[in-house]
């Protein structure tokens, strides 16, 4: 079967991309009728599609301009196109079928058309066969829409022809993340989203979908529930905004050091935006990998402690020690107090904690008596492994705010699980640029 020339075919194929119109402003040019350039200006205005007679005497508005070409589309948006086959002859054409394929750099996808028709159609004179195709683009780069029309001539000869429509799929967002390992089990994620399109868009939703090992708390709202951003979350081209999340391991993960070491995947960012006249797009990032925790030989957790205490009253806090090594330990706990006038608290402790197998935990209370007002720091805590004569010094144990005797608080606020490590270093963070994918 040899295809005929395009002008010789019995059917005509028309393809139009369905997209939202754009807003354009008309050209307003006015001059005196006797001015020399009036003729050339009048010709220019006659050729301008947005020109309205008498617009120079009115307030300048805007027009909706329909798409003039296939143009570009952004990753995560839905590509929609109207495909129409028209019988241009004076007789019926039988065996009409239309097939549409979308070809990218790596794949070729067949797009469903006329799903309600199980057999080829017969087109009467001036009759059309049309359908709308939709596909959510999932790959950046050059795409080609291939439309093929098959039919049978009056002589019973099968014929076909094709048309090709090329367009580009561009990246709409640039997402950068930073992970901060706090001195607790929590991880803080800062996500920066930048608009790299040519027009503004509105961020409709930016959420962190946690993995099975973690829970997520968004820190992008005020205490009254309002967003820290404006109601529209509008981003102009090349502008960016930041979102903050607190990530905590689930209790069954947090209590097991080995499981916590392996739980690196914290989740994915789910981003939904609206661009020109409400055009919707949605993307997900690749899985976010946190910084590994720096576990040393011992791990200290403050699992219960008051936030505020009165001066002179005992301040008791509950501690938990975990052996994070692969060997047995026999620990002695020391909380020394400096005999100095400037020491903010009194009270010391020294006792044997006993033997701890690998990954085993032991809880115990410690008590001090604050002697100064304000924020005081209880430190250091010394742990001695008598089996190998190793000493671990935890420089920062717990902070507490000391108030006067007449201070009154209606509700008691409990500190929620602090975690310390020996020789605790400064908070770490990690910059990551992410790959975007369509969901």
Please indicate, yes or no, whether residues 244 and 138 belong to a single structural domain of this protein. no
> Do the domain assignments include residue 38?
yes
Instruction: Give, in order, the Cα–Cα distances in Å from 427 to each of 166, 222, 244, 246, 249.
Output: 49, 25, 16, 14, 18
User: Where among 289, 322, 347 does a domain terminate?
Assistant: 289
> Do the domain assignments include residue 100?
yes
State both tokens at 275.
């661009």
> Do the domain assignments include residue 80?
yes
User: Where among 170, 191, 206 does a domain terminate?
Assistant: 170
Question: What are 131-140's pLDDT values in tens digits?
Answer: 999 999 989 9
What's the CATH code of the domain at 125? 2.60.40.10
State the Cα–Cα distance between residues 69 and 137, nearest whole angstrom.
Answer: 18
- Count the neighbouring beta carbons within 10 Å of the beta carbon of residue 48: 12
Q: What is the pLDDT of residue 85?
A: 93
The mean pLDDT of 47-59, rounded to a whole number, is 59
Count of domains for the chain? 4
Please indicate, yes or no, whether residues 84 and 187 belong to a single structural domain of this protein. no
> Do the domain assignments include residue 14?
no
Please indicate, yes or no, whether residues 125 and 34 belong to a single structural domain of this protein. no
Please indicate, yes or no, whether residues 166 and 179 belong to a single structural domain of this protein. no
Please indicate, yes or no, whether residues 317 and 370 belong to a single structural domain of this protein. yes
Instruction: Give, in order, the Cα–Cα distances in Å from 389 to each of 43, 329, 357, 386.
Output: 96, 10, 17, 5
Please indicate, yes or no, whether residues 199 and 157 belong to a single structural domain of this protein. no
> Do the domain assignments include residue 417?
no
Q: What is the pLDDT of residue 413?
A: 43
380, pLDDT greater than 50: yes
Higher pLDDT, 152 or 181: 152
The alpha carbon dihedral of 251, 252, 256, 260 has a sign of negative
The mean pLDDT of 95-102, rounded to a whole number, is 93
Q: What is the pLDDT of residue 230?
A: 65
Please indicate, yes or no, whether residues 100 and 192 belong to a single structural domain of this protein. no
- Report the DSSP beta bridge partners of residue 79: 135
Q: What's the mean per-residue pLDDT of the chain?
A: 82
State both tokens at 302.
């403050």
* Phi, psi dihedral angles at 30 (to 5 degrees): -140, 150
**Minimum mean pLDDT range among 141-145, 219-223, 243-247, 293-297:** 293-297
Higher pLDDT, 92 or 260: 92
Give the residue from 347, 354, 293, 296 showing the smallest Cα distance to 317. 347
Instruction: Give, in order, the Cα–Cα distances in Å from 195 to each of 9, 224, 319.
Output: 46, 29, 47
State the Cα–Cα distance between residues 248 and 261, nearest whole angstrom.
Answer: 13
> What percent of the chain lies above the pLDDT cut of 70?
80
Please indicate, yes or no, whether residues 282 and 305 belong to a single structural domain of this protein. no
User: Where among 112, 136, 170 does a domain terminate?
Assistant: 170
State the Cα–Cα distance between residues 384 and 392, nearest whole angstrom.
Answer: 6
> The whole model's pTM is what?
0.69
> Do the domain assignments include residue 374?
yes
What's the CATH code of the domain at 199? 2.60.40.1230
143, pLDDT greater than 90: yes
Q: What is the DSSP string of 185-244?
A: S-EEEEEEEEE-SSS-EEEEEEEEEE-TTEEEEE--B-TTS-BSS-SS-EE-TT-EEEEE
Q: What is the pLDDT of residue 430?
A: 60
Higher pLDDT, 354 or 261: 354
Boundaries of domain holding 285: 175-289
Question: What are 64-73's pLDDT values in tens digits?
Answer: 777 777 778 8
Please indicate, yes or no, whether residues 95 and 155 belong to a single structural domain of this protein. yes
Q: Are 356 and 362 within 8 A, CB to CB?
A: yes
Please indicate, yes or no, whether residues 33 and 106 belong to a single structural domain of this protein. no
Residue 105, Ramachandran bin (φ over 0: left; ψ between -120 and 50: alpha; else beta): alpha
Which helix or strand (DSSP H or E) is residue 43 part of?
A: helix 38-46
> Do the domain assignments include residue 9?
no
> Do the domain assignments include residue 135?
yes
> What percent of the chain lies above the pLDDT cut of 90?
39
State the Cα–Cα distance between residues 265 and 290, nearest whole angstrom.
Answer: 7
State both tokens at 203.
């961020």
Give the residue from 333, 327, 336 showing the smallest Cα distance to 387. 327
Please indicate, yes or no, whether residues 85 and 42 belong to a single structural domain of this protein. no
The mean pLDDT of 179-200, rounded to a whole number, is 86
Please indicate, yes or no, whether residues 134 and 163 belong to a single structural domain of this protein. yes
């Amino acid at each position: 079967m040899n295809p005929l020339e395009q002008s010789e075919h019995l059917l005509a194929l028309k393809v139009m991309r369905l997209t939202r119109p754009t807003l354009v402003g008309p050209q307003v040019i006015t001059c005196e009728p006797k001015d020399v350039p009036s003729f050339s200006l009048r010709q220019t205005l006659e050729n301008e599609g947005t020109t309205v007679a008498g617009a120079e005497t009115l307030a300048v508005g805007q027009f909706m301009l329909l798409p003039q070409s296939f143009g570009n589309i952004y990753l995560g948006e839905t590509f929609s196109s109207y495909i129409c086959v028209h019988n241009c002859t004076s007789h019926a054409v039988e065996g009409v079928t239309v097939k549409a394929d979308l070809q990218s750099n790596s794949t070729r996808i067949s797009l469903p058309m006329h799903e309600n028709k199980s057999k080829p159609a017969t087109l009467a004179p001036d009759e059309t066969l049309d359908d709308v195709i939709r596909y959510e683009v999932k790959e950046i780069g050059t795409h080609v829409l291939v439309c093929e029309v098959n039919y049978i001539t009056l002589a019973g000869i099968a014929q076909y022809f094709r048309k090709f429509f090329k367009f580009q799929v561009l990246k709409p967002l640039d997402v950068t993340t930073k992970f901060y390992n706090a001195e607790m089990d929590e991880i803080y994620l800062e996500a920066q989203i930048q608009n790299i399109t040519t027009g503004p868009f509105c961020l409709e939703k930016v959420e962190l979908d946690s993995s099975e090992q973690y829970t997520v708390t968004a820190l992008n709202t005020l205490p009254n529930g309002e967003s820290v951003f404006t109601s529209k979350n509008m981003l102009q081209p090349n502008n960016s905004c930041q979102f903050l999340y607190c990530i905590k391991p689930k209790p069954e993960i947090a209590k097991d050091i080995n499981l916590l070491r392996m739980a690196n995947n914290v989740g994915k960012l789910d981003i939904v935006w609206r661009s020109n006249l409400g055009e919707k797009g949605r993307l997900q990032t690749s899985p976010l990998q946190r910084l590994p925790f720096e576990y040393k030989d011992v791990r200290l957790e403050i699992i219960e402690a008051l936030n505020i205490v009165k001066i002179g009253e005992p301040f008791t806090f509950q501690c938990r020690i975990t052996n994070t090594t692969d060997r047995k330990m026999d620990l002695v706990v020391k909380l020394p107090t400096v005999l100095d006038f400037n020491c903010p608290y009194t009270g010391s402790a020294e006792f044997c904690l006993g033997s701890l197998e690998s990954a085993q935990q032991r809880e115990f209370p410690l008590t001090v008596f604050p002697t100064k007002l304000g924020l005081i720091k209880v430190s250091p805590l010394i742990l001695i492994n008598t089996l190998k004569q190793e000493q671990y010094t935890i420089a920062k144990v717990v902070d507490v705010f000391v108030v006067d005797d007449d201070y009154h608080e209606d509700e008691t606020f409990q500190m929620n699980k602090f975690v310390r490590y020996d020789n605790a270093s400064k908070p770490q963070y990690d910059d990551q640029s992410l790959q975007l994918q369509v969901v």
